[in-house]
Amino acid sequence: MNRLRSRKFRCALWCLLLLSPTVAIGQTPTATTPQAVESESPVQLPVQLPDQLPDQLPDQLGARLSLRLNTFVERTGIPAAGAALISATGTREIAVAGYRTIQRKHLVTRNDLWHIGSISKSFTSTLIARLITQGTALKQPSEGNLDWQTKLSQIFPESIDTPFAGVTVEQLLAHRSGFEPNAEPRFIALRASKLPIIEQRNLVIASVLSTAPSSEPGTEMLYSNNGYLLAGAIAERLLGRPWEEVLADQVMRPLGLATFGFGAPDPGTEGLQPQGHFGRSNDRLSPVKGLVADNPAYMGPAATLHLSLADLATYAHAHLLGEIGVASSGSWPEPLLPRSVFQRLHASRSSQTYALGWDNLKSPAGPGQSATERVIWHNGSNTMWYAFVGLFPESEAAVIVTINAGLHNASEVDRFALQLHHEFSH
Give the pLDDT confidence score for residue 364 in this predicted structure.
79
Per-residue pLDDT of the chain (426 residues; tens, 9 = 90+): 443 334 433 443 343 333 322 223 332 222 333 344 554 445 455 444 444 444 444 459 999 999 999 999 999 999 999 999 999 999 999 999 999 999 999 999 999 999 999 999 999 999 999 999 999 999 887 789 999 999 999 999 999 999 999 999 999 999 999 999 999 999 999 999 999 999 999 999 999 999 999 999 999 999 999 999 999 999 999 999 999 999 999 999 999 999 999 999 976 666 799 999 999 999 999 999 888 999 999 999 999 999 999 999 999 999 999 999 876 555 444 689 999 999 999 999 877 899 999 999 988 776 666 678 999 999 999 999 999 999 999 999 999 999 999 999 999 999 999 999 999 986
Torsion of CA 85, 90, 93, 97, to 10 degrees: 60
> Can you say how many angstroms the Cα of residue 156 is from the centroid of all Cα atoms in its chain?
24
Output b/e per residue, 133-169; b: 16+ Cβ within 10 A.
eeebebeeeeeeebbbebbbbbbbeebeebebbebbb
Does the model's pTM come out above 0.85?
A: yes
Look at the chain and report how many structural domains it folds into. 1
Closest to 41 in 3D by CA, of 168, 164, 223: 223
Task: Determine the pLDDT at residue 212.
Answer: 96
The predicted pLDDT at position 59 comes to 58
Supply the pLDDT for residue 367: 66
Q: Are strands 80-87 and 90-98 parallel, antiparallel or unpaired?
A: antiparallel
CATH number at residue 255: 3.40.710.10
Q: What is the pLDDT of residue 328?
A: 53
Q: Which residues contact 263 (CB under 8 A, 6 or more apart)?
A: 293, 294, 297, 304, 306
Q: Return the number of other C-beta atoms located less than 10 Å from residue 46's C-beta.
A: 13
Helix axis angle, 120-133 to 339-346, nearest 10°: 140
**Domain span holding position 419:** 3-424
Instruction: Name the residue type at position 65.
Output: L
Other C-beta atoms lying within 10 Å of the C-beta of residue 83: 27
Determine the Cα–Cα distance for residues 35 and 20; give it in Å rounded to an integer: 10
CA pair distance 280, 405, nearest whole angstrom: 10
Provide the pLDDT for residue 256.
95
β-strand 305-308 against 113-115: which pairing, if any? antiparallel
